[in-house]
Each structure stands twice: as C-alpha cells, then as structure tokens.
Chains A and B, each alone.
Chain A
Amino acid sequence: MVSAGLLSAGIPAFSQEHDSLLHLLPGVEIKSSQTPYSPVGVTLDYLNIESDYLLKNQGNTLMGSLEKIPGIRALSTGTGISKPVIRGMSLNRVVINEYGIKQEGQQWGADHGLEIDPFNVNRMELVKGPASVRYGSDGIGGVINILPPAIPRKDTFHAGALLQYKSNNNQIGTSVHVAHNKNDYYTLARITYQDYGSYRVPATSFTYNGYRLPLYRERLKNTGGNELGISLMQGIRRKWGYSSLYFSIYRQKAGFFPGAFGIPRAYQLNDIGKDRHVDLPRQEVQHIKIISNTHGHIGNVILDADIGWQYNRREELSKPHAHGNGPAPEGERALGLHLQTFTANFQLQAFPRYAFSLITGLAMQHQENSRDGYEFLIPAFRQTQAGLFSSLKYEAGKTTWTGAVRADLAHQYAPRSYTTQYDEEGLPSGTVQRSPEIRKKYINGSAAAGFVTEWTKNWKIKFNAGTAYRIPTVTELTANGIHHGTFRHEMGDSTLSPEKGYMLDLSLSTRQKNIQASVSPFLNYFDQYIYLRPSGLFSTLPEAGQLYHYTAGKTVFTGFEASLNLFADKRWSSLTAMEYVWNKNITTGIPLPFTPPYSLLQEFTWAPVRFWKLAEELQFRLSGQYFASQTRTDINEPATNGYFLMDFSTDLTLPAGRHKLSCHFQIRNLLNTIYYNNMSRYRILELPEQGRNIQLILKYEL
C-alpha cells in the first residue's frame, strides 16, 4: 500500500476502518491507507474516492459521478451545471475544499455549478455530517475534500491522455496530463477540454401551464456548452516534508434552455439546427486559483500551511428586455459577479503517533465581491472570517474518543446600493435603494465529540454529536431582484442571525467474510435554518411574480443511508444501497424544497478476470436505481412521481508493457425512461430529464 500525501504519518489504527468503507463501493481501488483528512471525520461517515471510481461512474458533472453514493445527490441545471447535495443540504451548506482551500464562487445560487475540472480530481474524501468545528461556517451538511494528487515517485515520468464521448449530447472531451519528478522536484500538469451540444430527452413536447410546447428533434434547445481546465503544480519533497505551488484556471460557457427564462413560448423554441452553438441565455464562468501547500514535520509535531487566492467571475447573459418605464438596457450582460477570496489555513498536529494526540489550527479568509450588469440581485461586499480550532483524540483499547472546539469571528460589509428609476416618459427620474448598508459582526463557538469503537468482532459503531453553524451569506442578507427564470423577486433580510444546528450521527457497520453492511442514521435540528420562503405578496416590479424572502425557521432533518455488499464468489458481487431524508420546517409545518426522494440502488458486478488473463481488469455492471415519488414538497414546488433507471457499464484495463490502456463504457438510462427529477432546475417547467446516454472513455497511461 502506498501511503502518500497529507497526514500520512497519523493514526495508523484507522486504516482498517477506511478499507471497510471503501469496499462498499464497487470499482473503488484502494491505493492508500490514509485516515480521513479532516480530523473530525473519524467519527463521522466518510468515504475516500479515487479518480478511477469517477471514471467508471462518470455522470455529466463531477457531482453527477457521485450520485450512486447513498446520501449524495446533485442539484442540477441541464447537463453542464450541478452542485452537491449531502443529506438534503446544499448551496452554502456543503464545503468543497480543493487542496485545503475552500472553493468560493457564488454558491448560494441553485443554478451555479461547481467550477472544478472533473478530470483533475485524483482523490477525494466525502464527509457526511457536521464539519463546522473543523471547517467553520458552512460545514453543516458535509465536506467534499479534493486532495492533492500523490507526489510522483522519485526520478520518474508519467503521462496520460483520455478521450471521452457521450452520445446523448454529442459530448467530446479530452484530458492530457503529465507528472514528473526529478530528484524530488516534481511537476504535475493537466489540460482538459470538453464540448457538448444540446441534450436529448425522450419527448417531443412538454406542457407548461396548459400550453403544449415543442421540443424539436427531442432536444432541449441551447443546452450545450464547453469547459476548459488547465492546471499546473510544482513542488519539492525533502526529509522535512514537502511544499507545492498550484495554479489552475477553469472556464465554462453553458447555455440555458430559453424557455427557462420567463414564461416559455413557442417562438423561442424554434429549431435553429445548431446544437453546439451556445446562444442567449447563457452563463460564462471563470475560476482562477493559486494555492500553496506546505507540509512539514519536526519531531512529534506536524505543521501544515495552506495559502490560497482565487478569483471567480460569473456572468449571466440574456437578451436585454425593457421592464416598466425604463428603456431596454444596453448589452447582454444581465449579471456580472466578481469574487476574490484570500485564504490562509495553518494547522499543527502534536503527537500524531501516540494514543493521545492534538490538532490545533487557525483558518482565515477574506472576500471581496463586485458586481455589474443591467440587473440587480446582490450588492458588492467584503467579508472577513477567522476561526481557531482544537481537537483531541484519545485511543483507549478498541475505542477512540474525539472532541473538538472552535471559536469563529466574522465581519461583513456591504454598501447601500441603488439603481436608476424611470418616469412614465422613460426618462431617468432618480435612484431607488435596492439594498441597505450592512455592517455585521459574528462571534460563534462550536463543539463536537464522538467515538468509534469495535463493539464485537467485525462490528463497528461510530457516534458523533456536534453543533454546526453558518453565518448568513450576503445574498441572504441583501438580495433584492428578480432571479432570472423563476419570476420570483428574491429579497434578503439584513436582520438574519447565524444558522445554528445540533446534530447527531450514528453509524453501524460490519464486515464479515462475504458481507459488508452499514447503516448510518442522522438527526439534525436547526433553530435558524435560512431559506427562501414565499411571502404571499406580489413584487411591485413590473412582470415580477411573488416576493420570496430569506426567512429563518426551526427545522428538523432526519434520515439514513444504508448499504449491503455481498460477495458471492470472486466473480459475482452485489451492492444494495439506499438513502432517505425527511425534513420539516417546524415553524410552518411544511417540508423544505429540493429534498431528495427515497432511493434504492441495486447493482450486480461480474468480474470474470480468471477467464481473460490478458486483462488486468474486466468487469460488467448492471444497476437499477429506484427513486420514490417526492410528495413532501415546499409551497409552489410540484410533487414528483417516482421513477426507475437502469445503467449498464463495462470496464476493461489492458496492460501493454509499462503502458496501460483502459476503457470505460457506460449506458446510462438504458431504458430511455421518461422521468422528472425534483432536484433539477428544469423541473418547474415540466421538462423530462436526459434520455439514454452511451458513454465511452478511453484512457492511455504511460
């Protein structure tokens, strides 16, 4: 086993734990014996995933590739945009770290994607449950840690290339990478480009508000896009540890179905015959990152310093349209948001090899946001946060105890914002205030404790109790504008206080000769859960619909994930996994929006390796996933019927001397099922989801 990367010196007692969880997923290769990267993760449900798993289960996006994991879903807009949902929580409630630095874009938007090159993810760790005590504000639903790739072995050179094709939207993609190490000075570089057309749905029309609207050639017009990812890492490894500098740039251009902006009308949906042309409305995103990671050890102390700068530019473009008295705006940029984030995290780990160990860290972040475009939604702002945390671990026989505390400070500032007002003649008549001045300070303490124990032979119990918190985002405090598409006039509330949660997590797992099984129930209570709720009043802006306010309510979340892995013999195995989330705003008695329905996955794998000795790996998988209907919906959120999807996949790896050729073939939505997904942005338009998709990835490694 190769032990590489962060915290590799720590806590060997947990390697077994790690293995048992990994086995619950088919196709996951165990290459490292790391313990969880996040120290609080030990007593939570966590999972390590390698790039191989992502290729074998590749969905439309990075999050789409993780959707077979119980407890993980994606909130998606078409095929190119999606963001993680962990146990029904999303947006700013899931922390995504790349190389120790929290990814910061405009996470509050449901149709804003996760702006990361999916092929540049080598290893990732998923932690379900409260991680605020380690990651500060936002770590409520869980954490996705994208870990740095393993450092290439001394004096070696590796290169690889992959080609990808997806039939449904004629997606083509390629990614090329090199890894070089000379005398422990190492370089890793990658370039990825993906281009896709409008996607196909198994329907020729859809019905919206009594109108029957066409879907020419069974395609959703203008849902194509492209993305580019370039990254470069340079580092040095010495006896004291290692240090690296990482640069990455990600660009995406993705079209939106024109019917999703305002009321869909037949004339917008005319077939223009060009599936790859990304027209208006669309979004253009650029994310640039520079990250420095340093990891060193002196005696019984391990030091980590992660420093980063990132810049996220988001532009939403749509045809200018006159509203009310004013003239039609100039240009196509409806909304431009530019967010800069500086992050510095320091962590000290003492006595990592002893029964009693301590981790202390300081995390700091500063953000500056500016805006432009002809629509107003959120103001420019500045936000600074700092947190100090400490966690203890104590191993006593078969039981490991953990405890952690954290103190956080945060400050937000947004100036008063105005937009021009027009009189009946269409002339500017002054300005109107759109958002108030915000000056807010927050002080918060959080704590968590838990244990993991070997109950009897082959049975393990984990328990964690903790508090989680999240400061309201500037959007939740100040938004005031019509969110494109929904007609809703979204309004912030500058008096909102932080969201606080109390969370209990339990996990029971067993590993027998032919069986591995686990069940992980959870119970969360929030006394200030913030989300958009209807006000029962109309917006006075012309053509706008109802006012939606960011409102806090007492909420309860509960549910579980369970999985059962059976190994019949060396060739046959079966995986069964399910998840369920139940939630309710107990102030109103109404469920929360975008709650994943109960789902049940059954997957059979046949790996006849013995027959074909030529192949390093050969497996066939057939899976069926049932999603129950979701009738527990928020006001104005339609109920969604249940559906059943089937997937088939084959993975083949051929060694050719020092080289390796692998082929990943998948047919997703094998039966071309017509279904609606309540986690999709296009659900409200009554648009069915993507039809059958035949995918092929060819990967060559040298």
Chain B
Amino acid sequence: MKDVDLSLGIAVKTYLDDFLKPEWSAKERDQNKATYVERYLPHSLKFKEDLDVAFKFFDAVYEGVMTLGDEIKAEDKTAWSEAKAYLDTRR
C-alpha cells in the first residue's frame, strides 16, 4: 500500500533533535540506534535502514536543488546547503 505519512519525518526530527549527540563516535552512533528504537519506536520494523534511506534521500534532493539557478530563492538554496552540512556531522 502506498501512502504518505509523516511518521518517518517525525522519527528523523526526533532522532536528530532529541536523541543524537554530535560528540558520539561512529561506533556509538551505530550502537545507540537500537536504544532509539527501544525508546521511541519499539514497533518500527527496520528503523536503522529507513533512517539511512531518509538521509540519502535528503542528499539526493539536495543534489537536485543545487542544480537549480534562480528558479528558487537564494535563501532557500542556502538553507539546503546549511542543512546538508548539519546532517553530514550527524550521520
């Protein structure tokens, strides 16, 4: 079944805003994802994979946005670049 729901949006937001500590090492980040699932989304099926897809999808849209010229506002383009830099320190 196809549907748009916002659960992955909220999950990604909560993960970045509430849970992840930027000072964690790569190994800690990987291990702590299980804790996140336990605490926030106990009934999700493959959260680690879904989160990874969400990040990669963001990268892909970012790449697309960067090809645009004056079709979008300069400040919007900057917002995408800044968000990309923010995400790159939190994978």
A and B: real partners?
Answer: no
